[in-house]
Structure formats: C-alpha cells, structure tokens
A and B are shown apart, each in its own frame.
Chain A
Amino acid sequence: MQYADEFRDPAKARTLVEEISKLAALLAKARGRPLQVMEVCGGHTHTIFRYGLKAMLPEALEFVHGPGCPVCVLPMGRVDDCVALACNPKIIFTTFGDAMRVPGSKGSLLQAKAEGADVRMVYSPLDALKLARENPTREVVFFALGFETTMPSTALTVLQARREGIRNFSLFCNHITIIPTIKAILDSPELTLDGFLGPGHVSMVIGNRPYDFIAERYHRPIVVAGFEPLDILQSLWMLLKQMKEGRCEVENQYKRIVPEAGNAQALAAVAEVFELREFFEWRGLGSIDHSGVRMRAAFADYDAERKFGVPGLSIADPKSCQCGEVLKGVIKPHQCKVFGTSCTPERPLGALMVSSEGACAAYYRFGRIAIKPVETETVAS
C-alpha cells in the first residue's frame, strides 16, 4: 500500500486545493456561474465521495457525475434478459457482485437467485470459465459488462475457452464503449459542461487519441485522470489551468499507467472477439448509435444471445426516474423528484441508486447532509 499512500498525502492535497480554489473563483466569476466538470467514470465518482473531496473543494466548482458506471446505465430490458437466462435450469448465471441488485422490470438477479435461479457472484470472467470446467453438464453464462476497461479480460477469456475446447461457456455481452456516449452528452442541447476528467482505466486500453474530438470539435478540455484522490485533484488543477489559459487539449495526468497509444495486445483481443452494434440502449440516455458491442459471428458458440436467445424487450424507465438528467448534469441527484423517497438504495427505482459508484447512491450514502468540515485534526493525524 506504500504505493497508494503516496497519492493520499493530505499536505499535498491542501496545496492543490488552494490552487484549484483560486483558479475556480477566477473562472467562475468570469463566467458568472459555477464551473461544471464531468467525471465520466464511476471509479472517479467513488473516489470523490470516498475521500470527501467534494467537501474540500470550493462551491465555484461542481462535479457532474457522468455515465461511467456500467451497472448504472444498464437498461431494464437487459436486466430482464439476464433474469430470463438465469431462470433457465440448465444455466449457471455468473455476474459481478454489484450487478446483482440492479432492478429489472421483473426484479433483480438477487431476487431471481432467492427464488431459485442459479446465480453466482464471481470476481473475474476467468472464475466463470473455471465454473464451466468444473460443471461440464451445465451451461455457464458470464454476464459481461463494462467499458473498454473490462472488455479485454472477457475477450481473452473467450479466446482461452476456445483454445481449451470448452463448449459450455458463453457470454451475455453487454459491453459498452465510451466514446459515442461522451459524444451523445456533448450533443445534448442542455449541455453546460466546462470540461472533463477522462476515464483512466479506459485509456489504459484505448489510449488518449480517441478523445481528441472533445477538444478539437467541441472545444472542451479533458484530462485523463487516475483514481487516487491526489490524481483527481491534480487533474482538476490541470483542467482549470487549461481553461484559464484558454487551451482545449487532451492531457494525460495518469502517465504512470496510461500509454498514449493504449495497449495493442488488449485492443487486438477485443477486435478479434467483438464488433460494434448498430445501437445500444442506455438507461436514462436512450439509444446511442454504435455505443455497444456484440460478439462476432465467428464466436456464435460463445454468445449466449445466439445460443439461448433472449427476449430482448426494450422497457421504458419508470416515468418518475430522472437518471438521464442526472447523468447529463442537468440536475443533481438530490434534485430528482424521487431521490431518497421512492428511490433509495434499499429499493432503487433508477440504476444510479444501485451500484456504490452510482451518483445517486454515492450522494445518498456519503454526501446526503451538509456538514461543515473540521479542518484541524485531519491533517495533523
């Protein structure tokens, strides 16, 4: 943990916060409104709440929690498909933990499990493959979701299954890709964002060039950021500096992990197994062209959608849900009509309330009440 501690030094944080506060005050005054910065990635949202960054930063700077939590943007229809697959007695349905609680129109995977479906929590697709090896008479389906961050590991798992000749393993592929989504947000007429913190883990795979259009075409600065609290503060500072100097560039704060050109090997595996879908539905954001991937025809045997068929119904979000507006930064989580009343982590209406990376759950859990920070004791200890 020594490595991590370096990025959690409160003294360094204080200096950065001072710098950020000065810049933010200046910029907000010039624009006549607070600055809005979107962190695209759910991991960033989590860090912001986990370390209480919001409380350290000035009010002139607002975070907008973007669509970067794959669990949060999963549409109801896809969850229903999961439940349908899991209810097939032949199938062992495997999934990451936080995906188990996402509400579908007929309940969540957790509820399906309670009612007898064989749903198992795994920590990686390789665990699911192992289950397939150990249960040759059953069909093991892995619920593959996530952005480019998790795509390579599922692609590599499928390739390994094929190498080993394992036939009872398949993916229910719900991977999504970040670029079209950012584009959709930038095209939104309600857009008020001033800049972006780019998703570091995604860039680890795809590199930084794919973000060029944000700076070039939409004239917004973006800094690709790491996940430690100091990473986020430093990235914010870099972002505000760009704004002050009137620059719009793609900068890389996460150089220690992110190579400019990404990871060729990972990209090759992804390209071999997956291809873009025409369109993919997002919870709260509607359908976005080319924003999801499916498995190529050559891997049809490993594609649960082809192997078993899924209902594939599109189901509208409940009317009272305002997830889309929160995702686009139009309203803050607590401004949603149902926040904390009919939508809570116990009984989530919208997906943003489900995963701990979801903006609404994070607000609910970490930031619900406003308290004055106590300045003295923390730095000293």
Chain B
Amino acid sequence: MKMDDPHGKRMPGGVVTLAHGGGGSAMRKLIENVLLPAFNNPLLAALEDQATVPLAELLVHGDRLAFTTDSYVVTPMSFPGGDIGKLAVCGTVNDLAVSGARPLYLSCGLVIEEGLEMAHLAMIVESIAHAARLAGVSVVTGDTKVVERGAADKLFINTAGIGVIPAGIQISASRAQPGDAVIVSGSLGDHGIAILLARNELALDAAVMSDCQPLHGLVAVMLGACQDIHCLRDATRGGVATVLNEFATSSRVGIRLREAALPVNETVRGACEILGLDPLYLANEGKLVAVVPATHADAVLAAMRAHPAGLEAAIVGEITAESAGNVILSTAFGGYRVVDMLVGEQLPRIC
C-alpha cells in the first residue's frame, strides 16, 4: 500500500479499530484528521448533527427537490477507472442528474470493518472528496461506524443526495411515446467487465477502464438542446436492458433496438463472447439512456457528442406502439429477439 495519495499529502498510518467508531476521542480524531480536511466546507465544519441548508439557495435552481440514496459495497474497492469512493459520489450524483436536477448536497455514511488500514481509508475519503469537487457537490453531513472484523467487507459507503429540479422539466419513465428516439450516451458494459477483470477471476489480460463518472454536466447540455426530454436513467446494475424494460413497462410502449447501433467497445465485446455475457445487461457507472422526441433527437445527440461524457453517444432505437411492454432487438444479423428483464445476476455460461 502506498502511504501517500496522488495529491502528495502525507497519509495517516495504523488501522481502523473499534475505538474509532466508539464516539470518543479516537473517533473525533478520525473525523478531524481524515474527514473534515477532505470534505472541507462550512456546512460540515459546523459539526452539528444535521446540515442546515438555506432554502433560498435551493430556490434559485428550481422548484422541486430531488432526493436519493444508495449504498456501495463493491469488491475490490479500487479498480481501473475508479474506486468505491468515486463510485459512491458518481452513483448518487447520477441518480439526481437523471431527473434533470442540479445535484447540490451529499451525505456520506461509512461502515468500516475493523482492521482497515487508515491510509487506505484516507485514500478513499480523498477520492470521495475529489469526485464531489468535480461534480460540484458538497458533502455536508455524514456518519461513521466501525464494525467487527467479518461483519463487513472492508468498507461500505452510503451516500444520499439532494438536488433541485428546474421548473418546467418533467422527466419520467412513464413518458415515452411512440416515435421517440432512444439514445445511449456511450459504450456499454465497461464498468461490469472492469470489475470482473479487477477481481482477477477471469483468465483474461485486457485493459478495460470503468466508465465511473458524473453525468450531471451531460444532462445539462442535453436539456439545453431539448427541454422536453421524456425519459432519462443511468444504466447501472442490470444495464441498459433493465432500464429499457422499465421504460417499456411504465410507459406501456414497445421499444425496438438495433443491435448494430449499440456502442460496445472491442475488449468488452470480446470478453462477453468468451464468457457468454450480454453487454446489454452489464453494469455501467457513467452511462445514461434517454428517450427524446424524434424531432429533437439529432440536436440532443449532437449536444451529447460535444460533451466529454457523451463522445460515443448513439441513437440505438425507437419507441413503438406495438408489442407494448416489450423490448425487441433487431439483431445485426437480421433476426430479432426479446430483450427481457434479467433474472438475478448474469452468470457466465459453462462452455
């Protein structure tokens, strides 16, 4: 383990013990030495039991609150393209962003397994702080628990987020209409395969980076090109297939996808071939799926491609009136098949 973080700061030594979660001086020290300097903002620094957010500041941005929470339990904690800390920020920021909201505040709950190296914890905390700065959100409240060895897998993180939705924006999974275009923001499955590779379970030597990234900037330019985006969702666990099935069910429409139009990077495609996995179901952490009126599809696409998070955006299909509730894929080969909801986890095939 490196004792210095990439930003050159000296990292604390030792390991986290149960005392660090006990509410006493060890805990105080952990908060003051590790958490406060990283998250560094006046709302948190007050160290009250709650963050006090002035309403006036929220009202500038819109007329509705978006509020979300998610827990992060990924193994391994660090992987090419990110770590659990970055994931915990991006995941929650993205859950806010896809409502059209501007993400503003995060909470951060840490459940630490006794024995985690302090330096490792500090690195993850720094990664949370770094990701939050990039996403333009502040970590304004938090909680730290230490559990006995074996009761958790090194570190679990829960983040909740608050954002504000601008007036006039109505994004919902139930708004897809026949004729609308379906857009994905980039290549599918990079995160899923990166994690599999990082677990070292595959006898594959391939470089795949997780796509873990905040999407609020991308959403902002999309809304700039079309205020009336109908559906928007980030395609995390369960992948694009799951999101589209949810749209099809909620909106009572059919969705017709074109396999040839789906962006999948070569290495991911290769790994999927070998393992019998389907990129449509692989997890992403920085990709979204949008349903937009056909008249605005090209404008939205162009705006997305001009943004770093949407360089490979593509129109991959359309909403149809027939086969309501179902997602149909026209295969690149000229056939078609149903893209169903995934049952449980995707398990690689035997041969």
Question: Chain A residues in contact with chain B, CB under 8 A?
Answer: 1, 4, 8, 10, 13-14, 17, 43, 46, 49-56, 70-71, 96-101, 121-124, 126-127, 145-146, 149-150, 201, 229, 344-346, 355-357, 364-369, 371, 373-374, 377-379, 381
Q: Let me know if B201 and A52 touch, CB within 8 A.
A: no
A-B contact pairs, 27 of them (CB 8 A): A1-B269, A1-B270, A1-B273, A8-B332, A46-B276, A51-B333, A52-B335, A52-B337, A55-B337, A70-B350, A70-B351, A97-B347, A97-B348, A97-B349, A98-B348, A121-B348, A123-B348, A149-B351, A229-B333, A346-B343, A356-B349, A357-B350, A371-B322, A371-B338, A378-B260, A378-B333, A379-B334
Please encode chain B, from 116 to 139, with 1 for each CB lying within 8 Å of some chain A CB and 0 for all others.
Answer: 000000000000000000000000
Tell me, yes or no, whether B70 is within 8 Å of chain A by CB: no
Given the complex of chains A and B, what is the CA–CA distance between A99 and B41 in angstroms?
51
Query: Is B32 in the interface zone, CB < 8 Å from A?
Result: no
Q: Which of B260, B330, B338 contacts A374 (CB 8 A)?
A: B330
- Contact yes or no, A123 B201, CB < 8 A: yes
- Whether B344 sits at the interface, judged by CB under 8 Å, is yes
Interface pair B350/A98, CB less than 8 Å apart: yes
With a CB–CB cut-off of 8 A, which chain B residues contact A229? 333, 335
CB distance from A41 to the nearest CB of B (A): 9
Can you name the residue of chain B whose Cβ is closest to the Cβ of A357? B349
Q: What are the residues of chain B within 8 A of A4 when measuring CB–CB?
A: 273
Are B343 and A345 within 8 A (Cβ)?
A: yes
Q: Please, how many angstroms separate the alpha-carbon atoms of A60 and B342 in the complex? A: 32
A8 contact set on B, CB distance < 8 A: 332-333
- State in angstroms the CA–CA spacing of A379 and B351 once bound together: 30
**B residues within 8 A CB of A364?**
340
CB <8 Å contact, A101 and B330: no
Residues of A within 8 A of B266 (CB): 1
**Structural contact, A46 and B349, CB atoms closer than 8 A:** yes
> In the complex, are the beta carbons of A378 and B349 less than 8 A apart?
no
In the bound assembly, the distance between CA atoms of A228 and B135 in angstroms comes to: 44
Give the complex CA separation of A229 and B331 in angstroms.
Answer: 11
By the criterion of a CB under 8 Å from any partner CB, how many residues of chain B are at the interface? 35
Q: A residues within 8 A CB of B206?
A: none
Partner of B350, one of A17, A99, A374: A99
B323 at the interface (CB under 8 A from A): yes
Question: Roughly how many angstroms separate A115 CA and B31 CA in the complex, as a whole number?
Answer: 36
Q: List, in ascending order, chain A residues with CB within 8 A of B19's CB.
A: none
Minimal Cβ-Cβ distance residue in B for A363: B338
User: A252 to B138, alpha carbons, bound, how many Å?
Assistant: 65
Q: Which residues of A contact B322 (CB under 8 A)?
A: 371
Mask: chain B, 253-264; 1 = CB below 8 Å from A; 0 = not? 000101011000
Q: When the two chains form their complex, are residues A123 and B202 in contact, meaning their CB atoms are under 8 A apart?
A: yes
Contact B201 A121 (CB under 8 A): yes
Q: Is the CB of A98 within 8 A of B347?
A: yes
Shortest C-beta distance, B172 to chain A (Å), equals: 26
Chain B residues within an 8 Å CB radius of A146: 350-351
- Extra pairs beyond A99-B350, A357-B350 (10, CB < 8 Å): A1-B266, A1-B270, A8-B332, A8-B333, A46-B349, A49-B337, A364-B340, A377-B330, A378-B333, A381-B261
Among A146, A201, A377, chain B packs the most CB atoms within 10 A around the CB of: A377
Q: Indicate whether B328 reaches chain A with its CB closer than 8 angstroms.
A: yes
Whether A378 and B331, one on each chain, are in contact in the complex, defined by CB atoms closer than 8 angstroms, is: yes
Q: Considering the complex, give the chain B residue whose CB is closest to the CB of A122.
A: B201
Kindly list chain B residues whose C-beta atoms are within 8 Å of the C-beta of A1. 266, 269-270, 273
**Residue in contact with B331 in the complex, picked from A51, A71, A357, CB distance below 8 Å:** A51
Residue B203 at the A interface, CB < 8 A? Answer: yes
Q: Assess A365 versus B202: contact at CB under 8 Å? Given A1-B270, A70-B350, A374-B256.
A: no
- In whole Å, how far is B200's beta carbon from the nearest beta carbon of chain A? 10
User: Does B275 lie at the interface of the complex (its beta carbon under 8 Å from any beta carbon of A)?
Assistant: yes
| A123 B275 Cβ-Cβ under 8 A | yes
Q: Is the CB of B276 within 8 A of A373?
A: no
**Given the interface contacts A1-B270, A101-B344, A373-B336, does A43 sit within 8 Å of B351 by beta carbon?**
yes
